[in-house]
Amino acid sequence: MLRVFGLIGLFTAVTACQQQPVGVEPTIPIPTVTTIASVVESTAATPTTPSNRADDRCFDPDPPLVDDGFLGRFDSQDSDSRALAGFKWSETGECAALTLSFRSEAGAPAVDPPEFRAEYLRHTAVVRLELGSGIGESAVSEQALDTGLLETAFVAFDPAADALVADIHLAAGATVRVRPVSSPARIIVEIESDGKAAAGTATVGEAVVLFAPESSQPPLLVQGYGRSGLEVSSSFEAGSRVLDDTIILGPSPTRWTIFEWTIRDFQPGPVVISVGDAAPVEFISR
């Protein structure tokens, strides 16, 4: 039996300062609303209007958008955010903006955004926001976005870290930037298409979301999330080697619980990974 465990551990609070110690991830300062170019909170039915700058870009170029990997982190000692309230999004041409809003313990709109760590998992076309331990619940488990750049947002629970993770699944290759904003509390994800196809997008079933693996060689990490409270069958086939097991998905404040399965050794050649009702992930290991 495979027990579910977290993809990413809880991050510790670090006080923001001008000089970051060597080896410490830089924090993201809270900008004023006026520094966020061309982002208007709206639903998909009310798109934003592009700026009129000569380069026709939707967002200011500074700080630059990132094409893969770590996007930044924000540390807050006294945030009043206790729950993820929902998503709003807009898209214009080659650009999109998605906003996460938060509510306080009393149920009112929160003032200050929560702690978070942001990463762009380009290998599976996901922007991941690991929310701090102060966020214990979410009003939404998944949200269909269905635009040219955005597909679906999922909120999954990491039981090992006792934390929620918000994943934004992209429909195309892009560069990405994340900004925290106060009064009210928001996290804004800014996305610009880079003209490339989305690499290795996740496969989505009714009960399981299965990620494309970052590596095609051992050790290989099978990752995703499934409906909480279920036991789902899983298999890994590589040449003559077949591994079958069951993933047990623990309880969650949302519909989804994160799982992770490590395959430590297999021979080069065709590989097929199946978990639950998600479409299998297939690739050639070299």
Is the same domain home to 129 and 76? yes
Query: 266: domain range?
Result: 203-285
Is the same domain home to 111 and 37? yes
Which among 193, 228, 248 is the end of a domain? 193
Q: How far is CA 96 from the centre of its chain?
A: 15
Per-residue model confidence (pLDDT) at position 81: 97
Please calculate the CA angle 24-161-185 and round it to the nearest 5 degrees. 70
* Full-model pTM: 0.81
Residue 5 falls within a domain, yes or no?
A: no
pLDDT along the chain (286 residues), means of 10: 40 33 43 34 34 56 91 92 96 93 97 96 96 94 93 92 94 95 96 90 96 91 95 94 94 95 91 96 91
Is the same domain home to 153 and 262? no
Is the same domain home to 58 and 167? yes
Which among 136, 167, 193 is the end of a domain? 193
Q: How far is CA 40 from the centre of its chain?
A: 21
Taking alpha carbons only, the member of 285, 222, 229, 286 closest to residue 259 is 222
- 181 with 188: CB under 8 angstroms? yes
Which among 147, 163, 193 is the end of a domain? 193
Per-residue model confidence (pLDDT) at position 57: 65
Per-residue model confidence (pLDDT) at position 200: 87
Per-residue model confidence (pLDDT) at position 62: 83
